[in-house]
């Protein structure tokens, strides 16, 4: 039942509308009645406006001339990244090699605080690039390998934010395939964002053999072995990155690419887990590195685990954690030396032939790489010679025409 209208104060009781003579309570009834009508109309207008916005086509093409004040940020195998201005706002511009690489509409609609926001693409030759959100603090890789010690609470927060971002990404059936600390960027308020989707692909719930893409130190063994893969390749890479965050060490430091591929692919080497690392984190690392992909946890489980894992670490101050982390690194270095020397001498102590075969395989891989580099160098030289001959011919044709 409606409550009767009550005057707000004594002055209101004695006050009628000076112009109309309407009593205060009638005036207030009209006010509430009109307010209800206005609220209803507002909801209807809002509904139509929302539908209209959804129906409007989204134009992601950005003319290159709108991008100004470019400055160099970094470069990698997938392209060069610049900082720039777009409509008065700082953005990041990644220059790509081909127009095909700009076909990433499945990424442009992603909206999550732990995923780098895609703003648009430029497909006007000869410039092919993607415009993204600018993260002023650079990559997580540079942060954790800068000889700066961070509070363990901050490290666990970063790990959880990465996991939450990957929950969103996998929820949209997108596999990153190159998840690593150089591809995690740090923005305002030290919030981390998953970035660099140049090698990502859309998943269709059917295992498929993936192309050899990514950085081998963070790469899942099934990709190295060219076997059917799934979303769980990102979980393996996350495990390597979590180990990197906790120990501040570079994964497989000092090993050549071919040795890492062989060791990870054959399960003959692994990243040593510090013995005094909290059991909850040790278990999580082991689960992420499970050799059976389907037995690795999902990122939703990982995010939940990180919420409660490492309770002992969270209570440490930075100075105490610095000492603990130094002990971890010493433990890791010692374990790596033993492991590497063991694998260098023999894979199976009972079979010297296996060890000899492995060394021979590694030697052949190095020889093939050297030969390939020589062929690339020779191809570049021939290309330059062809260009020079072509210029000479064009000059002769011009002379003859005159």
Phi-psi region of 88 (alpha: psi -120 to 50; beta: other; left: phi over 0): left
Q: In which domain, by residue range, is 3 found?
A: 1-44
- Both 90 and 35 in a single domain? no
Whether residue 26 is found in the same domain as residue 75: no
Q: CATH code at 189? A: 1.10.510.10
- Is residue 375 a part of any domain in this protein? no
Please indicate, yes or no, if residue 402 is contained in any of the structural domains. Answer: no
Residues 286 and 262 in one domain: yes
Mean pLDDT of 255-273: 89
Residue 320 has pLDDT above 50, yes or no: yes
Mean pLDDT of 228-252: 94
126 shares its domain with 157: no
Catalytic residue (choose from 10, 16, 142, 178):
178
Q: Do residues 81 and 166 both lie within one domain? A: no
Give me the pLDDT at residue 50, please. 36
Same domain, 84 and 228: no
Number of domains the chain is built from: 3
**What's the CATH code of the domain at 119?**
3.30.200.20
Residues 184 and 77 in one domain: no
Specify if 367 maps to a domain. Answer: no
Mean pLDDT, the chain, rounded, equals: 77
Active-site annotation holds for 178: yes
Instruction: Check: pTM over 0.75? Answer yes or no.
Output: no
Which two structure tokens, joined as six digits, stand for 394?
């064009």
Return the pLDDT at 127: 79
Residue 206 placed within a domain: yes
Q: Say yes or no to pLDDT of 273 above 90.
A: yes
User: Do 104 and 146 share a domain, yes or no?
Assistant: no
Question: pLDDT tens-digit profile of 7-45?
Answer: 444 444 444 444 445 454 444 444 444 444 444 444 433
Is 309 found in the same domain as 169? yes
pLDDT of residue 76: 66
Same-domain check for residues 160 and 255: yes
Q: Are residues 228 and 174 in the same domain?
A: yes
Among the three residues 133, 152, 174, which one is the final residue of a domain in this structure?
133
Inside any domain, residue 399: no
Is a pLDDT exceeding 50 seen at residue 210? no
Q: Which of 302, 321, 345 is the last residue of a domain?
A: 345
What confidence tens digit (pLDDT) does each residue in 381-400 have?
A: 776 677 767 777 877 888 88
């Amino acid at each position: 039942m409606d409550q009767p209208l009550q005057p707000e104060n004594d002055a209101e009781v004695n006050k009628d509308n000076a112009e109309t003579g309407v009593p205060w309570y009638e005036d207030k009834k009209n006010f509430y009645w009109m307010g209800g009508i206005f609220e209803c109309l507002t909801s209807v207008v809002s509904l139509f406006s929302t539908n209209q916005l959804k129906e409007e086509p989204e134009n992601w093409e950005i003319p290159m001339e709108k991008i100004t004040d470019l400055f160099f940020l970094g470069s990698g195998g997938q392209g060069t990244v610049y900082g720039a201005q777009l409509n008065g706002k700082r953005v990041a511009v990644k220059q790509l090699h081909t127009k095909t690489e700009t076909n990433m509409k499945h990424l442009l609609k992603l909206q999550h605080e732990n995923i780098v926001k895609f703003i648009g693409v430029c497909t006007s030759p000869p410039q092919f690039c993607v415009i993204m959100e600018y993260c002023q603090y650079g990559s997580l890789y540079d942060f954790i390998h800068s000889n700066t010690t961070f509070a363990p609470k901050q490290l666990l927060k970063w790990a959880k934010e990465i996991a939450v971002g990957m929950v969103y990404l996998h929820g949209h059936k997108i596999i990153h395939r190159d998840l690593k600390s150089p591809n995690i960027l740090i923005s305002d308020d030290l919030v981390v964002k998953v970035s660099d989707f140049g090698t990502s692909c859309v998943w269709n719930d059917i295992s498929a053999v993936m192309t050899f893409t990514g950085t081998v130190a963070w790469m899942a063994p099934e990709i190295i072995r060219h076997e059917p893969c799934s979303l769980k390749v990102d979980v393996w890479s996350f495990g390597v990155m979590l180990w990197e965050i906790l120990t501040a060490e570079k994964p497989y430091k000092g090993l050549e690419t071919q040795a890492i591929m062989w060791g990870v692919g054959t399960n003959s080497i692994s990243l040593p887990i510090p013995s005094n690392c909290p059991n909850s984190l040790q278990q999580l690392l082991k689960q992420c590195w499970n050799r059976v992909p389907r037995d690795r946890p999902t990122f939703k489980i990982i995010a939940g685990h990180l919420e409660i894992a490492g309770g002992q670490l969270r209570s440490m101050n930075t100075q105490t954690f610095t000492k603990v982390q130094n002990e971890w690194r010493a433990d890791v270095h010692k374990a790596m030396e033993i492991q590497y020397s063991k694998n260098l001498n023999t894979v199976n102590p009972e079979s010297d032939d296996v060890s000899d075969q492995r060394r021979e395989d590694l030697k052949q891989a190095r020889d093939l790489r050297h030969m390939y580099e020589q062929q690339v160098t020779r191809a570049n030289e021939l290309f330059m010679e062809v260009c020079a001959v072509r210029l000479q011919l064009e000059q002769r044709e011009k002379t003859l025409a005159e």
